[in-house]
């Protein structure tokens, strides 16, 4: 098999016709080109089907694979759950030697290696968590041709010893995962990632592939420069994740909102992102007090604690992880059903990356953002402290994130257009589309708020002004004499949530500013004068405080059973069987010491629960079941299905 591909590559190199970018410019491919293309595709699909259990490639995957086979550099921009791994795993199995995969986290390497081994693929990792003997054994296996994919951390990769060893090894190509970490405009991470660009000079003509879920044009160009990619194929897949519902809610008593949301999820697994380490610990504690299985994760924890939390979450022994951005890239878990941003991220790239941890298997998932305008004000202060050369970019990214949160148009349209994917049609699966904001004549409410701010000296924040409007007598407003003001209690018929929403909207629309140098006190702008004088109309949106969860009626469309498309709302499935299969999967995973989703993901179990195959041949047609998994788990699955049908 590998010799066949090597001969193809020689032929391609001599004829110089199968580079993907060159092919795009050719109007009439020759017969030889078609034959070569057909043979590569036939070989790739046989691996896709027999090992990974899928029948066809997603859009763009084969072009990327062919580019690697023809020894060309690549930059792959593909959303989380979009099939990036297959873009390097399949060519690694087609080519001689072994592929070197640069991966940022030890836990992520382990998960990917475990999954590959379950699928019957010879894979290994080389990292600091291994003993010297284990490292030596892996190097020997590579030398003897028994490994097809070797995962390595950037620190180990760039050591003099490892680089010297690599020069003697038959490396087919290098794949750099999470390549945005290399860019100066990308996410902050580890300095060793910047050194990976030296590989091109060190290893010579070996092709390099960069892969990431998010990168705007500036970041893409920066990655190409930093990795020294030569005339690369730049493949940009759709950023759309139609199975994720995007929801933004006003942040009001957020811990209560969070507890209600998690209880609505009925035991499904999720991640809660927070802006500080301290907050992750506080929130995890409050969730635990309410009987929710939760723990916290941040970079300040001991390695053993971090590993224990991640392992418990991966194995479905922990429902919720409350974490900083340190938790994410190492999460290969496919059945995360919700991601909550307790605090707003600093840019849309981070938001997209983190929400992308949900629904990797294609089944319905939710991304909920708690939004408070003063968070943006504080983040703008942080940006002002950045170096002058990156400050404009950081400001632009933060403003885009604020615009997304404050948008009254389809969330997905805003998100996709940010990444340059032109989209006008509303998605029908975000809070704006499903429940358009209801407007009302808000002029009188606005006048009450503006008057209260003015009469209290423009020195107080949202909560204090809400107290004044509702006539809530407290020691602090009595001491200041504000309980004697004419505005005291003029809004007592409305709730605290109502007045906070009105004030936030007035901030959004420029009638009020929050002074970051005076405890975020609200102050009037010139634009507020016509409102106070009733010289213009003003319509406001009713507050959005409730969190609407997705329809729990999950369905499956047999026609789209490939990994290409998945719609879990088109045909019903047997939920009782699904629950039994999940229980069986957990038992097998515990016995094998791996995460349940590595055995079979939720999408595959849903399809089984819909079709209910009763023979191994029927089971083999299910998406996600390759030869190895059929051999390992086929009889157990069929037995469980037959037992369920005979009940």
Residue 391 pLDDT greater than 50, yes or no: yes
Residue 372 pLDDT greater than 60, yes or no: yes
Q: How confident is the model at residue 284 (pLDDT cuts 50, 70, 90)?
A: very high
Residue 254 pLDDT greater than 50, yes or no: yes
SS3 state at 75: strand
| Domain-terminating residue out of 405, 434, 463 | 434
Same domain, 509 and 466: yes
Query: With the CA atoms of 382, 385, 387 and 390 taken in that order, what torsion angle do they form, in degrees rounded to the nearest 10?
Result: 30
Nearest C-alpha neighbor of 336 from the set 344, 328, 348: 328
Same domain, 475 and 587: no
Residue 312 pLDDT greater than 50, yes or no: yes
Range of the domain at 276: 244-434
Same domain, 362 and 419: yes
Cα–Cα dist 541/446, whole Å: 12
pLDDT at site 218: 79
Same domain, 96 and 198: yes
Residue 548 covered by a domain: no
Q: How confident is the model at residue 548 (pLDDT cuts 50, 70, 90)?
A: low
Cα–Cα dist 480/252, whole Å: 26
Residue 551 covered by a domain: no
CATH of the domain at 315: 3.40.50.300
Cα–Cα dist 177/360, whole Å: 17
Residue 481 covered by a domain: yes
Residue 546 covered by a domain: no
Residue-averaged pLDDT of the chain = 85
Q: What is the CB neighbour count within 10 angstroms for residue 392?
A: 11
Same domain, 88 and 186: yes
Cα–Cα dist 36/478, whole Å: 84
Encode pLDDT of 204-249 as tens digits.
Answer: 789 999 999 877 777 888 899 989 999 999 999 888 999 999 999 9
Cβ-count burial 296-323 (b if 16+ within 10 Å, e if not): bbbeebeeeebeebbeebbbbebbbbbb
| Domain-terminating residue out of 236, 252, 280 | 236
The predicted model gives 42-67 an average pLDDT of 93
Please indicate whether residue 310 or residue 322 has the higher confidence score (pLDDT).
322
Nearest C-alpha neighbor of 154 from the set 162, 143, 146: 162
Cα–Cα dist 321/274, whole Å: 11
pLDDT at site 17: 27
Nearest C-alpha neighbor of 367 from the set 433, 421, 411: 411
The predicted model gives 152-169 an average pLDDT of 88
| Domain-terminating residue out of 434, 464, 495 | 434
Residue 180 pLDDT greater than 90, yes or no: no
DSSP 352-415: HHHHTTS-TTSS-EEEEEEE-HHHHHHHHHHHHTS-TTTHHHHHHHHHHHHHHHH-SS-HHHHH
Same domain, 91 and 209: yes
- Cα distances from 390 to residues 193, 252, 282, 401, 608, in angstroms, run 19, 33, 33, 17, 51
Encode pLDDT of 395-451 as tens digits.
Answer: 878 888 987 898 877 899 888 888 878 777 889 999 989 988 888 999 999 999 999
The predicted model gives 507-518 an average pLDDT of 80
CATH of the domain at 579: 1.10.150.80
pLDDT at site 5: 46
Same domain, 318 and 386: yes
Same domain, 145 and 291: no
Q: How many domains does the chain have?
A: 4
Residue 331 pLDDT greater than 60, yes or no: yes
pLDDT at site 546: 62
pLDDT at site 507: 82
Same domain, 48 and 119: yes
pTM metric for this prediction:
0.73
Nearest C-alpha neighbor of 36 from the set 26, 54, 147: 26
Nearest C-alpha neighbor of 469 from the set 439, 420, 438, 506: 506
The full 3-state SS of 420-445, as one line of letters, equals CCCCCCCCCCEHHHHCCCCEEECHHH
CB 331 within 8 A of CB 311: no
CATH of the domain at 473: 1.10.10.10
Backbone phi, then psi, for 539, in 5-degree steps?
-110, 135
CB 273 within 8 A of CB 342: yes
Same domain, 278 and 193: no
pLDDT at site 158: 84
Residue 285 covered by a domain: yes
pLDDT at site 627: 94
Cα–Cα dist 246/495, whole Å: 26
Residue 104 covered by a domain: yes
Q: What is the CB neighbour count within 10 angstroms for residue 10?
A: 9
Residue 382 covered by a domain: yes
Residue 255 covered by a domain: yes
Residue 299 pLDDT greater than 80, yes or no: yes
CB 363 within 8 A of CB 600: no
Same domain, 134 and 217: yes
Percent of the chain with pLDDT over 70: 88
Same domain, 74 and 133: yes
Q: How confident is the model at residue 474 (pLDDT cuts 50, 70, 90)?
A: very high
């Amino acid at each position: 098999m590998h010799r066949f591909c090597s001969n193809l590559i020689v032929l391609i190199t001599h004829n110089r016709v199968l580079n993907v970018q060159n092919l795009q410019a050719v109007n009439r491919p020759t017969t030889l080109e078609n034959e070569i293309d057909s043979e590569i595709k036939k070989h790739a699909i046989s691996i896709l089907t027999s090992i990974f259990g899928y029948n066809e490639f997603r859009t763009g995957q084969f072009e990327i694979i062919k580019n690697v086979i023809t020894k060309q550099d690549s930059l792959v921009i593909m959303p989380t759950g979009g099939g990036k791994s297959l873009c390097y795993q399949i060519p690694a199995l087609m080519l001689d030697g072994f592929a070197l995969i640069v991966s940022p986290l030890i836990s992520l390497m382990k998960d990917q290696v475990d999954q590959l081994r379950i699928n019957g693929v010879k894979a290994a990792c080389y990292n600091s968590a291994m003993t010297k003997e284990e490292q030596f054994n892996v190097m020997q296996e590579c030398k003897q041709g028994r490994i097809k994919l070797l995962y390595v951390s950037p620190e180990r990769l760039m050591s003099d010893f490892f680089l010297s060893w690599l020069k003697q090894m038959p490396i087919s190509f290098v794949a750099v995962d999470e390549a945005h970490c290399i860019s100066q405009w990308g996410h902050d991470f580890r300095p060793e990632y910047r050194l990976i660009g030296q590989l091109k000079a060190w290893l010579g003509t070996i092709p390099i592939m960069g892969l990431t879920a998010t990168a705007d044009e500036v970041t893409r160009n920066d990655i190409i420069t930093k990795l020294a990619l030569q005339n690369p194929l730049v493949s940009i897949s759709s950023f759309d994740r139609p199975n994720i519902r995007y929801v933004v809610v006003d942040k009001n008593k957020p811990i209560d909102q969070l507890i209600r949301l998690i209880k609505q999820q009925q035991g499904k697994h999720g991640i809660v992102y927070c802006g500080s380490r301290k907050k992750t610990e506080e929130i995890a504690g409050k969730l635990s007090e309410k009987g929710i299985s939760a723990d916290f994760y941040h970079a300040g924890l001991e390695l053993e604690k971090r590993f224990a939390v991640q392992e418990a979450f991966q194995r479905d022994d922990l429902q919720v992880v409350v974490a900083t951005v340190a938790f994410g890239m190492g999460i290969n878990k496919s059945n995360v059903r919700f991601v909550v941003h307790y605090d707003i991220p600093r840019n849309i790239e981070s938001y997209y990356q983190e929400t992308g941890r949900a629904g990797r298997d294609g089944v319905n998932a939710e991304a909920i953002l708690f939004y408070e305008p003063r968070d943006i004000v504080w983040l703008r202060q942080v940006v002002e402290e950045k170096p002058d050369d990156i400050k404009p970019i950081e400001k632009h990214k933060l403003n885009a994130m604020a615009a997304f949160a404050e948008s009254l148009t389809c969330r997905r349209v805003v998100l996709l257009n940010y990444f340059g994917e032109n989209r006008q049609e509303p998605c029908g699966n975000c809070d704006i589309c499903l429940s358009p904001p209801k407007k009302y004549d808000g002029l009188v409410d606005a006048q009450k708020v503006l008057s209260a701010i003015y009469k209290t000296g423009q020195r107080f924040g949202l909560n204090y002004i809400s107290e004044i409007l509702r006539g809530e007598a407290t020691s602090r407003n009595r001491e200041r004499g504000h309980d004697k003001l004419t505005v005291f209690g003029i809004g007592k018929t409305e709730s605290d949530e109502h007045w906070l929403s009105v004030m936030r909207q007035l901030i959004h629309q420029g009638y009020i500013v929050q002074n970051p140098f005076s405890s975020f006190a609200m102050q009037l702008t010139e634009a507020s004068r016509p409102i106070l004088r009733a010289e213009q109309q003003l319509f406001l949106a009713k507050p959005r405080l409730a969190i609407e969860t997705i329809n729990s009626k999950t369905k499956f469309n047999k026609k789209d059973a490939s990994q290409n498309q998945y719609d879990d709302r088109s045909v019903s499935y047997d939920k009782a069987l699904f629950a039994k299969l999940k229980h069986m999967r957990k038992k097998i995973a515990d016995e094998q010491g791996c995460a349940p989703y590595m055995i079979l993901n939720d999408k595959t179990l849903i399809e089984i629960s819909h079709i209910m195959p009763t023979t191994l041949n029927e089971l083999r047609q299910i998406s996600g079941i390759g030869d190895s998994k059929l051999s390992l788990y086929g009889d157990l699955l069929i037995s469980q299905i037959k037992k369920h049908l005979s009940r």
